[in-house]
């Protein structure tokens, strides 16, 4: 078990190293640079700014400098947000994205799994159809449509919740969390339903029924475990994606998270910020994949022993 985690962490480190190298050079290959969108400045000033960010050095030297910084947990300065380091930007935005993402995935997992089980147990009944329609709506209708709709209804008409921002504690969280969880509720409920139906046809579930232990115990002790394995395999990596923020959610609800940096940094050619965000996402993805494998190993004895 410890050996397994150790090996996976080592593999993860190698993956991150490859990710850093690839992102660094691909970024430089893209046309334009950090200051090409600025208003006209004189060549002398530009030279000075470039020198300040060491952009005048050869690329390999820049890379060495960046890696050296990384080894000291220094992600470099943002070229866009002057006076802020990439570390500062992530540290200030991440808590918002983390909080919203965490609750969204909790809500999505609980509601999605419950809906999926209900749909599978009452297949082809009104319960199943309602869950199915909600699922299609949740997947098909984009966040930038549902978000404003919620704002109109719950903030402007009913006046229950703030339209956006992050200054009203849990009340500010409700709508972003709900809207972010909707597509995931939809996806998880479809996944759970399909997996449940498949598992209910398994021979070992029939064996359990033949033991006369009752429908409830058959479901809890036999069907559920096998049925939830694919859901867990989905939850792990998607959690990494959700807690690193969503640009749509953060834009619609004016949340100062890091999701917006994903897109903005790339558009602005803010090299260090792009690197920092990519690294963060990569690291989280690796960690959640390891966690997923640990949970799967705990649930499924056949998945153990190869680590």
Residue 122 lies near other proteins (rule: CB under 8 A): no
Residue 211 lies near other proteins (rule: CB under 8 A): yes
Euclidean distance between CA atoms 182 and 132, whole angstroms? 13
Minimum distance, C-beta of residue 226 to other proteins, in the bound complex (Å):
6
Residue 210 lies near other proteins (rule: CB under 8 A): yes
Residues between 216 and 235 that touch other proteins (CB under 8 A): 217, 221-222, 225-226
* Binds other proteins (CB under 8 A): choice among 213, 254, 263, 267: 213
* Choices 93-101, 198-206, 237-245, 263-271 (CB under 8 A): range interacting with other proteins: 198-206
Residue 212 lies near other proteins (rule: CB under 8 A): yes
Give the binding-site size for other proteins (rule: CB under 8 A): 22
Residue 171 lies near other proteins (rule: CB under 8 A): no
* Binds other proteins (CB under 8 A): choice among 207, 254, 263, 267: 207
Minimum distance, C-beta of residue 202 to other proteins, in the bound complex (Å):
7
Residue 119 lies near other proteins (rule: CB under 8 A): no
Residue 206 lies near other proteins (rule: CB under 8 A): yes
Query: What x-and-dash track marks residues 52-91 binding other proteins by CB under 8 A?
Result: ----------------------------------------
Residue 34 lies near other proteins (rule: CB under 8 A): no
| Site for other proteins, rule CB under 8 A | 202-204, 206-215, 217, 221-222, 225-226, 299-302
């Amino acid at each position: 078990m410890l050996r397994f985690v150790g090996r996976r962490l080592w593999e993860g480190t190698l993956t991150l190293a490859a990710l850093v190298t690839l992102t660094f050079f691909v970024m430089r290959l893209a046309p334009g640079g950090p200051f090409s969108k600025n208003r006209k400045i004189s060549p002398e000033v530009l030279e000075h700014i470039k020198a300040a960010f060491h952009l005048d050095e050869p690329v390999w030297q820049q890379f060495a400098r960046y890696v050296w910084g990384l080894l000291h947990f220094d992600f470099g300065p943002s070229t866009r947000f002057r006076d802020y380091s990439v570390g500062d930007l992530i540290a200030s935005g991440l808590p918002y994205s983390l909080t919203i993402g965490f609750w969204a995935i909790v809500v999505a997992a609980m509601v999605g799994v419950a809906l999926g089980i209900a749909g599978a147990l009452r297949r082809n009944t009104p319960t199943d159809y309602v869950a199915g329609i909600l699922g299609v709506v949740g997947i098909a209708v984009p966040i930038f449509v549902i978000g404003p709709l919620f704002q109109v209804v719950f903030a402007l008409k009913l006046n229950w919740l703030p339209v956006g921002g992050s200054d009203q504690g849990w009340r500010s969280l409700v709508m972003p969390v709900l809207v972010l969880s909707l597509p995931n509720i939809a996806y998880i409920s479809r996944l759970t339903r399909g997996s449940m139906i498949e598992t209910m046809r398994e021979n070992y579930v029939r064996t359990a029924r033949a033991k006369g232990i009752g429908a409830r115990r058959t479901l809890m002790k036999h069907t559920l475990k096998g049925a939830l394995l694919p859901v867990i395999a989905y939850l792990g990596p998607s959690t990494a994606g959700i807690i690193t923020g969503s640009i749509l959610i953060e834009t619609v609800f004016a949340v100062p998270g890091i999701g917006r940096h994903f897109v903005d940094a790339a558009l602005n050619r803010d090299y260090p910020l792009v690197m920092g965000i990519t690294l963060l996402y990569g690291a989280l993805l690796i960690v959640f994949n390891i966690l997923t494998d640990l949970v799967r190993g705990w649930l499924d004895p056949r998945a153990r022993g190869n680590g």
